[in-house]
Structure 1
Amino acid sequence: YTFSKALGGKIGMSICEDDKLDVALDVIKKAKENGVNLVLGTDSICGDDFKNDCNTQVCPSNNIPDGWEGMDAGPETRKAFADAIKGAKTILWNGPAGVFEFDNFAGGSKAIADAIAEATKEGAFSLIGGGDSVACINKFGLADQVSYISTGGGALLEAIEGKVLPGVAAIEA
């Protein structure tokens, strides 16, 4: 929702990193400059309260009404994310698509997990990183259908960035 808000969208009560709006715009700009297909959600399953059994509606991700919160990827977004995963050779999943702890808002994360498992079966290397992503893959019973699982989310991303991790540095010293 940070990206939606940065682009001038209305996000209701959805979680947003207001201090990262400029970063979101920079990511979009750099993706365009480098020919990267940045896939952002276009629709959301929204709730009127932060609980599993609240009222729900599908909304455009950039036009969520006041009093409503985006809590899961909508049907169009699920398809777009799954399509982006199909045919990938390397997949890094770091973060669920919604409030997967609530069964009524787990569909987006399940769609991603299913697409990753299918791509892995077709030869992709898939890395699931971070506690929430690991909880997702386990919740859906797909842990044995991915290549590698790491509970270290932030550390995993820093290692991929090329940063020296203190624990690794201590071992190498």
Structure 2
Amino acid sequence: EAAQEEKEAAARHQMQQTTRSFADSMMAQKRAIERSEGANDEARQAALDDAWGKRLAVWGSEQEAREKLMAQVLGERSVQVSQKLERAQREKEAEAEARRRLEAELAEIEAAEAAKARAAAAAKADYTRQLEHQIQQRRHGRAISEFNKVQEKESADRAEAAYQATLRSQLARTESQMSKYGPS
């Protein structure tokens, strides 16, 4: 945009220089004609001056028209630049809004994923606790079963020992009574 404005300013400057150069060359031609003819009559000089004045007026009006056109072009270019800047600003704001929405959606997804991960971890911990509880119950059941087996065996051993003691006692009594009646 700045380069465009510089181009336009350079073109304006070039046109002004061309106009001045042309005017200078015309003035130089006029002076050369005046010098070469030297003593022209006043009517011819007035006609030349009048023609020259008309040319200068045309050039002046053309220069004015060029400057007006240049001002109009610059004004339109300024409007275009303003519109382009406004459009770029709107696009930038739309992109920022889209980025904000995307970040919000991403945050929601991350929160949902974190909640799922926490729920999965809690479910896993609960399952682990249940398994540990079942393992403890089985161990406890085995320990009770083993304890009961040991108690039953000890009880059976005591009963057997008591029975054997009773048998020995009765056998001893029987032998003692039989020894009273037996061969002496």
TM-score range, shorter chain: under 0.3
Report which of the two has the higher share of helix. Answer: 2
Report which of the two has the higher share of strand. Answer: 1
Q: TM-score with structure 2 length normalisation?
A: 0.17
Looking at CA atoms only, which structure, 1 or 2, has the larger radius of gyration? 2
